[in-house]
Each structure stands twice: as structure tokens, then as C-alpha cells.
Amino acid sequence: MSQSRTLDPQTQALLDVIANSGAAPTHQLSPAQARTAYLARRASLQPSPEPVGRVTDLAISGSDGDIKLRLYRPINNTDSCLPALMYFHGGGFVVGDLESHDTLCRSLCNQAQCAVIAVDYRLAPEHAYPAAALDCLAATRWASAHADELNIDASRLAVGGDSAGGQLAAAVCLTCRDDANVNLAFQLLIYPITDALMRSDSIDRNGQGYLLGKRDLAYYYDHYFADMAVRRHPLASPLLAADLSGLPDALVLTAGVDPLHDEGLAYANALSQAGTKTQYVSFARQIHGFILMGQVIDEAHLAINTCAAALKRALHPENA
């Protein structure tokens, strides 16, 4: 099947531009080069950041130094006690930071009428598994414990993320399930990694020619996971968890032309089978990472709207 028949025309046009640019694929770059290239794409792919009510940069103590956070409050609602979303950025555990996902966090904050707390977790290869998961867990527990000073409602606390960030959100949910001090209300999983063993058919089906390739996935995983054995841990591969019951309601969003498509769908099905109320949406003609590409892909805005609407229903049940 040709890309022109499979992809949104805007997405196909973007892939054509990238192919003609001669840019090296991620797996041929050093981590430092990959980080620079990832951030450099923002100007041409992401829309202008929309205004919000307030942005506050914070830092908390982690197991290996400070963890930087960024707190967003929605426009025209800076003083109310609000529900909150802990947001974990994507980037294969190797790239990405508070800046790479700033526009997305702003949009979710305004549309869902919730505070957003973005987490600048440690990156690989400097910090291998489970460093990123531990940072996201520490930030979530800290936000819950400090809800009063943050002016957020700890009983309406969600977690979310895209790609590696979706995996981290799922891992935090699994870890906090038996934590009496953290009450998670919702999980937003955007094309999440759920099986780090790379066993799903879509990794081969969509593993070449669609921006994120099979070799790129292997590059990311080899940097973050010390060996194959740890990839079987639930914090690495949530799909392999023995028990997925008792988790917060979920929205799982996938892209149809994405190496991670099948494992995202499998995780949504597994959550549903375990009794978790789960919504599933697939953007059939889209590629991995498209939600950040709203300057050139219109469906990115629809995807954000879908995520924000689900968050708003979950976190503002009085208005549902």
C-alpha cells in the first residue's frame, strides 16, 4: 500500500519534505545531536504557543538532584483550586524536555480547564532505566502531597504523556495503584510504548518511511534499558503487567501509521478486559508524533481537542 493512499495528504507532504531534506535518521545521531534536531523541528512543525493564565517553573528534590517542573494554569482561571494533569513528554527516553512539549501543555491546560504540571525527567543514556520512571513517580507523589500550596485538587489528579511519556504515565498508574497517598483520577496515553520487547506487527508494518522507524525505536530502547531482561518489567512494558485491574479511567490514542499502533491498541484492550473504563481513538492516517505538528497537520488540533475533552469530562465530572 502506498503512502499516498495511506496517509493524510498533509502528513504525506511533510514526509516528502523530510525525505528530500537529506536529514539523517535519529538512529544515526548521537544523543546530543538527536536532542538538538528534535528541538530544532519545533519552529517548522508546532503552532505558536497560546497564552495561558500563568506559567511557573519549579524544582523539587529527586534521587539524583533536582527535578524541574513547569506548572501551567489556564487563561482566565489563575486563582481557583483546579484539577491537575501531570504531563510526561515523549522522546524515546532520550530526547525532549519542557520546551519540546510547551505548546501541547498550554493547549491541554486551557481546553481541559486544569492545571498542567510538566515533568523534566532524567534522560538516557546518561540515566538508564528506571530513572525516568522514578522521576515521574516522585513528581506525581510530590504534587499530590503539596496540592494545597499548588492550589490543585489532589482528588482530581491525572497523569498523561505521549510515546515514552505515555509509557511513563502507565507505569506511574501501576505503581500508585496501591499508594494510599496518591489518588489518580485519569490516565491520558498518547501513542504509548507498552511493550519494549518490540513484538507487535506494526513495528515491521510501519517501521520504515514514516518518520519513526524500527531502527530508531531500537536506538531509543538500547539507550534507556540496560538489558533485555528489564524490558519485561511492568515499569518498562506495562502490557506485560500481571494485573491491570484497579487502574484509573483511560483514554488511549494511537496513530494508524505508527510502529507503536498495535501495542497501544493492545493496551487499551487489556485495560478494558481488566475492568478499567477505557476510551480508544485511532487517527488512521497519521504518523507517530503528529500531535505536536499542528502548524502543518490539521488533525493534530483535532487530536488535542479529543484529549482535552476526555480530560475535562474526567476531571470536571460536575460539568459532564
Point out the residues that are catalytic: 163, 258, 288
Per 3-state DSSP, the chain is made up of helix, strand and coil in percentages (nearest 5) of 40, 20, 35
List the Cα angle 287/212/254 in 5-degree steps: 40
H or E segment and range at residue 33: helix 31-40
**Who's near 207: CB < 8 A, 6+ residues apart?**
213, 214, 215, 217, 259
Q: What would the grid cell of residue 41 be? A: 523541528
Write the DSSP symbol of residue 1. -
Instruction: Output the CA–CA distances (angstroms, integers) from residue 136 to 71, 230, 285, in the order listed.
Output: 14, 18, 31
**Who's near 101: CB < 8 A, 6+ residues apart?**
87, 89, 90, 118, 162, 165, 292
DSSP string, 118-185: EEE---TTTS-TTHHHHHHHHHHHHHHHTHHHHTEEEEEEEEEEETHHHHHHHHHHHHHTT-TT--EE
Strands 65-73 and 54-62: antiparallel
